[in-house]
Amino acid sequence: MRLATLLFALVLAPAAHADSAMVFAAASLKEALDAVVQSFASERGGQVEVSYAASSVLARQITRGAPADIFISADTHWIEFVEKAGVVAQGSRRNLLANDLVLVAPANSKVDVKLNFGVDLAPALGKGRLAMGEPDSVPAGMYGKSALKALGAWNAVEKRVASGENVRAALALVARGEAPLGIVYRTDALAEKRVRIVDTFPSASHPPIVYPVVILKRSSTPIATAFAGYLSTPDARAIFERYGFRLP
């Protein structure tokens, strides 16, 4: 009886897996990608699950064998990291989306800052700290550090950074009023009513913010291939644009 049960489970397992896909995606994609998943399920059927975290965390998990079929990073660095590990399906990489980097404050804050060269954030910070993703690993933090360096503002705030494990953690600090300023993506700011955009960083002050997507070699599910393709359809693009993303 036990052997029969085991064989029955083994026969069913591949079929169940064939109708599902696991996506590892940058935290900043949550609202938009959840909506795309829902649209895909209603149009095509099949189960798509998404695990959200910092791209750096997800990339490391993937190279250690985490069961992901698709990876969407918030920058090229962590896509290249998994490519170098030899786990990406050849020819599957493409740039999916683009975004902007903004300075945010609590919605009721009156602070006014213009992000020009030579900007000094100290007066606006007061005794508080600058919330941003971890500057040396989280993409939003890496973009933020590059932008602040380009504007000549990094040295003054380097020791006053409140680092978040991902961009949404940094956003939450500002939303709760625990930090007077934060650096996040425009889409994050649009998703959180408790913050407002103070100014947008000049695009030339940081590398282009792109979201590459890849299919991983371990994936053998038709639903994963179908969903990866769906991400670039007019329906999916319309959803992403509704949440503030741009095409690359």
Q: Which CATH class is domain 101-205?
A: alpha beta
Is the pLDDT assigned to residue 115 strictly greater than 70?
yes
Confidence label for 18 from pLDDT (cuts 50, 70 and 90)? low
More confident residue, 10 or 200: 200
Is the pLDDT assigned to residue 126 strictly greater than 60?
yes
Residue-wise pLDDT tens digits, 97-108: 999 999 999 999
Where along the chain do its domains lie? 2-98+210-242, 101-205
Q: What DSSP assignment string belongs to 148-194?
A: HHHTT-HHHHGGGEEEESSHHHHHHHHHTTSSSEEEEEHHHHHH-TT
Is the pLDDT assigned to residue 6 strictly greater than 80?
no
pLDDT of res. 1: 38
**In terms of Cα–Cα distance, which of 95, 97, 25 is closest to 59?**
25
Q: What DSSP assignment string belongs to 78-126?
A: HHHHHHHTT-BPTT--EEEEE--EEEEEETT--------TT---HHHHT
Is the pLDDT assigned to residue 14 strictly greater than 50?
no
pLDDT of res. 11: 33
**CATH annotation of 2-98+210-242:** 3.40.190.10
More confident residue, 20 or 36: 36
Residue-wise pLDDT tens digits, 131-188: 999 999 999 999 999 999 999 999 999 999 999 999 999 999 999 999 999 999 999 9
Q: What percent of the chain has pLDDT over 90?
A: 90
Residue-wise pLDDT tens digits, 152-164: 999 999 999 999 9
Confidence label for 17 from pLDDT (cuts 50, 70 and 90)? low
Rounded distance, CA 71 to CA 11, Å? 28
Shared fold status for 2-98+210-242 and 101-205: yes
Is the pLDDT assigned to residue 243 strictly greater than 80?
yes
